[in-house]
Amino acid sequence: MKKAFICSALLLLPLLLGAQAVSYTTYMQAVARDNATLLAERYNVEISAANLRAARVFNDPELSLAYSDNQDNKLMMGRSYEAGLSYEVNLGGLRRARIGVAATEQELSEAALDDYLRQLRAEATYAWSAAWAAREHERIHRDSYEILARVARADSLRAGLGDIRRTDAAQSALEALTQQGEWMQAHADYLNALSTLSLMAGGMAVSDLDATELPQTAVPYGPGELMDIAELSRADLKAAELSHTLSQKNLALVRASRAMDLGLELGYAYNTEVRNEIAPAPIYNALTFGVTIPLKFSSLNRGERAAAEASVSQAERYLEAARQLVRTEVQQAWTAYQAARSVAEHYSRQMVGDARSVLEGMEFSYTQGDASLLELLTAVQTCNDVALAAADAQAALFDAAATLRAALGVVE
């Protein structure tokens, strides 16, 4: 038994030394601020903003310089110096279409980030409730172990006095050790759950929870009102709408790229004096202006445009599917929340207290010799089952509320 108490003290040592209790509010703020994956996802918004700035760039003009020597040293035909400037003008609004695509992509990246944060909040809440439930499991198994350890110590003394058989005392000790093993496993599960919280919160040190109960909130709306809230708030639905808009903008870009591109050219030439006796010529300047018109035979191929039009139709179907999914998720989340609330109300505090009172009474009866060890173990198991079920019901209700919030796309 001395070894058992030493093991128990070692299990509690990490929580007793430098324990940092973290509240749910502090934890969720750390998740929204420091989660590593979320920080990486935020770069998508910066990238899309940079792409939008790049899309605003105008076409660059082209400068050409030329020099020609018409065998001036031998034939005295003179020299010429030429400079030209050319610029391509798109008649289909290609730059405007590029800006439209980039602007919609930026909005889409922002909506995608909001949707990722929505899902991250839900996952962080699930991790919190799992840690809380693990702590409750650890506490319940510890309490059961302490009861059986007391019984084992008392039986050891009674066996020494000859009041009970030594085999009965050995059986009590074995039951206490078995319960200690369950406590050790529950404690390890709790530490692992705290590690998950630390990961979700971007590495924040979490060694305990500053919460005796899970915060539960009522939902003052019916399914119809919840549907309206979800359609206005869900970031993934907004992303689906923006994807549809983006497909239309891409179609406009394809059409603009198939329009004619005019090339405007302006040139200047300076020609030196031609001193050839056969064909003399004075110094003169030449100014040229020209237009290049491409022959867009590639526009006869409608494959790119057909693909863009099909993408628009596909985005419409995805948008309708997203709306149906949102309505289904809200309905399912509402049903699950109502069921979880009913189960949580079933396992009331009084029910847990009654089970605890029965166990305490059975422990006293056993020490007085009025109850058997089997009856005591049955009472311990019943008390454990009720307490564990009550804790799991509270965690399930907390998770159901988080799922409902995620389905609605709201924080509260």
Q: What is 311-352 written as a DSSP string?
A: HHHHHHHHHHHHHHHHHHHHHHHHHHHHHHHHHHHHS-HHHH
CA distance 263 to 292: 5
Q: At what angle do helices 373-408 and 303-346 cross, to 10 degrees?
A: 140
Question: Could you say which of 1.20.1600.10, 3.20.20.70, 3.30.9.100, 1.10.1380.10 is the CATH number of the domain covering 25-295+306-408?
Answer: 1.20.1600.10
Beta bridge partners of 287: 268
Q: Retrieve residue 295's tokens.
A: 């022959």
| In the chain, domain spans | 25-295+306-408
Supply the pTM of this predicted model.
Answer: 0.82
CA distance 85 to 265: 6
Beta bridge partners of 88: 263
What was the pLDDT predicted at 13? 46
How high is the mean pLDDT in each 10-residue block of the chain (412 residues)?
A: 46 48 90 93 94 91 91 82 92 90 95 94 94 93 88 80 77 86 93 94 88 77 87 92 94 88 91 83 90 83 89 94 94 93 84 83 80 83 87 92 91 73
